[in-house]
Amino acid sequence: MSAQTLRLMAFDVDGIFTDGRLYYGVEGDALKCFHTHDGLGLKLLQASGLPVAIITGRTSAMVEHRFAELGIAHIISGRDDKRQALEELADALSLSLIECGYMGDDLPDLAAGQLAGFFASVPNACPAVIEAAHFVTVRQGGQGAVREVCRFLLEARGFDEADLYRSVAK
């Protein structure tokens, strides 16, 4: 399977959309910082006809809010077994796993990434993930790495990101 023929792209959150650090307030509330470039990348992927999913081991209202805001229909939270989550999502969407892409950075992401037809990661991922990945970004998680993958997928599928943006921004 290649990036050109993916029918779903799924992403982990911590270490991919964020730098992986967790910030806690005095009341125990966790804060996450998301890069706007990554959000636009997801919107462009969806506009190109490639559905997007989020699969994360943590449960967080801010994650639910951020990705709902971006129009992501498939948000799977609180799932430590990301391989099983990806399998269930693919089955629900009548897709084979080879038609699914996945981006993750740590050991809980490895099995899902190895099953996917396209596996992307970041340069500060754990060594086993980097070794298994088909594509490793230049940018680190939380610094526009997702946008880099989105741009790669759009180009592989024959889309120019600026042209696509102009068509959806009208």
Average pLDDT taken over every residue of the chain: 93
Distance CA 51, CA 43 (A): 10
> pLDDT, tens digit, for every residue of 31-62?
778 899 999 999 999 999 999 999 999 888 88
Q: How many domains does the chain have?
A: 1
Where helices occur in the chain by DSSP H, the ranges are 36-47, 61-69, 82-92, 107-115, 127-132, 145-156, 161-168
**Residue 73: per-residue pLDDT:** 93
| Residue 63 banded pLDDT, cuts 50, 70, 90 | confident
**Residue 20: per-residue pLDDT:** 79
> pLDDT, tens digit, for every residue of 142-168?
999 999 999 999 999 999 999 889 887
CA 41 to each of CA 25, 28, 59, 132: distance values in angstroms, whole numbers, following the listed order: 30, 31, 23, 24
Distance CA 77, CA 50 (A): 21
Give the CATH number, domain containing residue 19: 3.40.50.1000
Angle (deg, nearest 10), helices 107-115 and 82-92? 30
**Residue 1: per-residue pLDDT:** 54
Region 64-83: mean pLDDT is 94
What does the chain come to in residues?
A: 170
Structure tokens at 1: 């399977």
Burial class of residue 130 (count of CB atoms within 10 Å of its CB; 0-12, 13-18, 19+): middle
**Is 153 within 8 Å of 49 (Cβ atoms)?**
no
**Is 73 within 8 Å of 37 (Cβ atoms)?**
no
Assess whether pLDDT exceeds 80 at residue 2. Answer: no
Distance CA 54, CA 72 (A): 8
Structural domain span for residue 111: 3-168
| Residue 120 banded pLDDT, cuts 50, 70, 90 | very high
Distance CA 30, CA 119 (A): 28
